[in-house]
């Protein structure tokens, strides 16, 4: 028997957080340490949009001039994730920087194998933030884990002077100052903040599309205070990220009872204990979504979650599991709404679950689109071009 989610949600249409549990605003300490010369605060550049966070504090989300802190998982295995983010920004006429002077957050060696430590992880974060500052662009974090981990790093550096001193010594050796952004911003927050402008540029009707949303644990569970919440989305009880955008695009977001559950990624598990990942992803997420919400698509906003929810479905068919729903990021979904090419931009051929019925429902002729992509790839194969460019994509 499924849980009556809608009845429960009705009771919590206007969720109020207990004011006694409101944590202190970290900005006060952030700026105090700057005044004492401990570090430089990289301020959110104007123009920015203010959004509401969990404890009703405003958060500044910069509109343009962004330094894209890419994700090793997205760029490596789900490249349409990154290309969709870039494409939407280009379409809106916004300048950005796609740097080579950037490492990943390296948190795989923190959460998966524990072959790193607090100082190393903070130094990696500070190196990337200093590189962003040098470039004159403001960091936008693509990965949910990088975003959550950098917030953890910020907390640790705020709390511990010895750690700040240790990391500052390392930065001195690199010839870089200690730089902390005023706000750590995830790409989903940018999409949420820009949702009305994205909807103004929508060319495809999504009113017939039903979606379920999986929020990334490291987005709203790690240092949860500066995740986006909206009283008009889930009554303000759950993070509004992804859902707020998808509803603005006219699609229907359907709820399900295991919304708060992790996807089962597990870092180590997705690679070396995949039986766990596969079981959790299908039994606690995909099958529950299918049974309770029957979505056309699952939308999420972290590398690990897309990979886990997408790749885990294939093998479970052998057990007759109730699976078979495409998975993508809300950035890919928004790009499709704005008319992006499903292969040249959204790179859906890198995904495993069958997305073609969804494209048909969106009014996209996927066979024609695939033929266009293959024609472009043939040019590369014949040596007529070395690479495809943004000009090719929008041709």
Partner 1 sequence: MTEAPSALYKAPAVAGHDNVPFAEKQRLFEQVKADVRYPDYLYGCYECGICVAACPSARFYDFSPRRIAQAAAREDIELIYQQMEEDIWECSQCFSCVRCPRGNNPGGIITLLREVAVNNGLGSARQALEGYSRIIYKIMSTGTQVSPDMLQPDAFPDWGPEVKDVSDNLDLWRRALPPETMHTTSTGWDVSEKTLIELYLIWFETGALEMIREVDEGLHMILEEVMEERLEEEGIEL
Total binding residues toward partner 1, as defined by CB under 8 A:
97
- Cα–Cα distance, 103 to 139 (Å, whole number): 13
Which residue among 56, 117, 319, 371 contacts partner 1 (CB under 8 A)? 117
Q: Which positions from 68 through 87 interact with partner 1, judged by CB under 8 A?
A: 70-77, 79, 82-83, 86-87
Q: Does position 389 bind partner 1 by CB under 8 A?
A: yes
Residue 289: CB minimum distance to partner 1, A: 16
Q: Does position 98 bind partner 1 by CB under 8 A?
A: yes
Q: Which positions from 309 through 338 interact with partner 1, judged by CB under 8 A?
A: 311, 313-315
Q: How far is CA 291 from the centre of its chain?
A: 26
- Are 123 and 167 contacting, i.e. CB atoms less than 8 angstroms apart? yes
Residue 26: CB minimum distance to partner 1, A: 13
State the binding string over 150-179 for partner 1 (x if CB under 8 A, else -).
-----xx--xx-xx--x--xx--xx-x---
Q: Does position 34 bind partner 1 by CB under 8 A?
A: no
Q: Does position 261 bind partner 1 by CB under 8 A?
A: yes
Residue 187: CB minimum distance to partner 1, A: 14
Count CB-CB contacts under 10 A for residue 266. 20
- Cα–Cα distance, 118 to 141 (Å, whole number): 20
Return the H-helix or E-strand segment holding 361: helix 356-361
Residue 158: closest CA among 30, 32, 28: 30
Q: Do β-strands 48-52 and 58-62 pair in parallel, antiparallel, or remain unpaired?
A: antiparallel
Stretch that binds partner 1, among 185-193, 196-204, 279-287, 320-328 (CB under 8 A): 279-287
Which residue among 33, 51, 89, 124 contacts partner 1 (CB under 8 A)? 124
Choice between 9 and 75, CB closer to partner 1: 75
Residue 46: CB minimum distance to partner 1, A: 26
Which residue among 44, 51, 89, 123 contacts partner 1 (CB under 8 A)? 123
Q: How far is CA 325 from the centre of its chain?
A: 20
Q: Does position 94 bind partner 1 by CB under 8 A?
A: no
End-to-end CA distance of the chain: 51
What does the DSSP 8-state code read for residue 233? S
Question: What DSSP string describes 248-302?
Answer: HTTPEE---TTTTS--S-TTHHHHH-HHHHHHHIIIIIIHHHHHHT--SEEEE-S
- Cα–Cα distance, 143 to 303 (Å, whole number): 6
Stretch that binds partner 1, among 93-101, 196-204, 227-235, 238-246 (CB under 8 A): 93-101
Q: Does position 351 bind partner 1 by CB under 8 A?
A: yes
Q: Does position 347 bind partner 1 by CB under 8 A?
A: yes
């Amino acid at each position: 028997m499924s849980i009556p989610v809608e009845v429960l949600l009705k009771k919590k249409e206007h969720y109020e957080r207990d004011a006694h549990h409101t944590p202190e605003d970290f900005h006060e300490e952030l700026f105090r340490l700057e005044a004492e010369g401990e570090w430089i605060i990289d301020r959110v550049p104007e123009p920015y949009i203010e959004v509401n966070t969990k404890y009703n504090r405003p958060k500044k989300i910069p509109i343009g001039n962004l330094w894209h802190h890419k994700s090793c998982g997205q760029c490596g295995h789900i490249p349409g994730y990154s290309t969709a983010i870039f494409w939407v920004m280009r379409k809106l006429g916004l300048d950005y920087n796609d740097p080579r002077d950037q490492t990943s957050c390296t948190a795989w060696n923190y959460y998966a194998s524990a072959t790193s430590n607090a100082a190393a992880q903070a130094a990696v974060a500070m190196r990337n933030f200093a590189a962003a500052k040098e470039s004159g662009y403001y960091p936008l974090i693509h990965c949910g884990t990088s975003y959550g981990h950098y917030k953890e790093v910020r907390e640790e550096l705020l709390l511990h002077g010895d750690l700040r001193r240790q990391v500052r010594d390392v930065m001195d050796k690199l010839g870089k100052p200690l730089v902390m952004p005023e706000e750590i911003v995830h790409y989903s927050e940018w999409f949420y903040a820009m949702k009305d402008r994205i909807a103004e540029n929508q060319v495809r009707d999504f009113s017939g599309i039903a979606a379920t949303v999986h929020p990334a644990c490291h987005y709203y569970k790690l240092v949860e205070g500066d995740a986006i919440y909206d009283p008009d989305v889930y009554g303000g009880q759950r993070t509004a990220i992804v859902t707020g955008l998808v509803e603005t695009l006219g699609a229907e977001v359907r709820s399900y009872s295991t919304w708060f559950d992790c996807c089962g990624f597990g870092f180590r598990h997705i690679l070396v204990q995949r039986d766990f990942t596969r079981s959790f992803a299908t039994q606690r997420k995909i099958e529950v979504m299918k049974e309770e919400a029957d979505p056309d698509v699952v939308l999420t906003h972290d590398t690990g979650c897309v990979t886990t929810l997408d790749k885990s479905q294939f093998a479970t068919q052998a057990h007759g599991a109730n699976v078979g729903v495409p998975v993508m990021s809300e950035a890919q979904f928004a790009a499709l709404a704005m008319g992006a090419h499903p292969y040249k931009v959204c790179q859906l051929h890198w995904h495993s679950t069958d997305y073609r019925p969804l494209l048909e429902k969106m009014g996209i002729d996927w066979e024609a689109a695939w033929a266009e992509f293959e024609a472009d790839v043939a040019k590369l194969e014949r040596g007529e071009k070395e690479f495809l460019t943004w000009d090719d994509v929008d041709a």
